[in-house]
Amino acid sequence: MRRILTSWWLQLLLRLLVGGIFIFSGAVKLSDPKGFAALISKYGLVPDDLLVVVAIGLPLVELLAGLGTLFNIRGSLETIMTMLVFFIAILWFGLLHDLDVDCGCFSVKEQGEQQSLRTAFVRDWALVAVTSYLIFCRRLKINSPGFLPATNLTEEK
């Protein structure tokens, strides 16, 4: 089991998954910045003067962080982790205030208002777990990008 959990292939697969999710999410939002700005305004957390900046800037950061994660660029996973924590806080706000809004995670119009918020909340926590694992694995590496250090699995007698 340890060999699987420290597998370079597992890390690559998870990096592709997380990076792909953020690339897709950012690209979808960038394709309709007006719709995304309208969705953001429903949360009531961003001043109207900043809606356009947030509606373009946030998806752009998502897209770039996703690409950085695919290419294993330093800081990309940390950027994704920061965004996930931010998204979870926003979703929690929406759930606590019983907002009747879409999540807006992957499209301007998602599956079902409050249920969408709950689904996104759980999904983002799962992404936090995967991203934490990837960050942890990266910190274990010793001077060889893409590989984990060899470990001594034999017991001392």
- Global pTM reads 0.81
> Residue 93 is encoded by which pair of tokens?
């706000």
Position 81 pLDDT exceeds 90: yes
Q: Are 131 and 84 in contact (CB under 8 A)?
A: yes
Q: Any idea how long the chain is?
A: 157
Paired tokens of 141 = 């590496």
Integer Cα distance of 4 and 6 in angstroms = 5
At 4, list the tokens: 């699987």
Domain membership of residue 113 (yes or no) is yes
Whole-angstrom distance, CA of residue 143 vs CA of residue 149: 9
Q: What is the pLDDT of residues 57-76, one digit of tens each?
A: 999 999 999 999 999 999 99
**Would you state the pLDDT for residue 155?**
42
Confirm whether 36 is domain-assigned: yes
Neighbours of 2 (CB within 10 A): 8
Total tally of structural domains belonging to the chain: 1
Which pLDDT score, from 0 to 100, does residue 108 have? 55
Task: Please write the tens of the pLDDT for every residue from 84-121.
Answer: 999 999 999 999 998 888 777 876 555 444 568 888 99
How far apart CA 9 and CA 148 sit, in angstroms, is 11
88 occurs within a structural domain: yes
Both structure tokens of 45: 């957390």
Asked if residue 73 is part of any domain, the answer here is yes
Which amino acid is residue 75, in one-letter code?
A: G
* Assigned domain for 31 exists: yes
* Domain assignment present for 151: no
Q: What is the pLDDT of residues 26-38, one digit of tens each?
A: 999 999 999 999 9
Please tell me the distance from the alpha carbon of residue 92 to that of residue 35, in angstroms, as a whole number. 22
Residue 138, pLDDT score:
85
Range of the domain at 124: 2-140
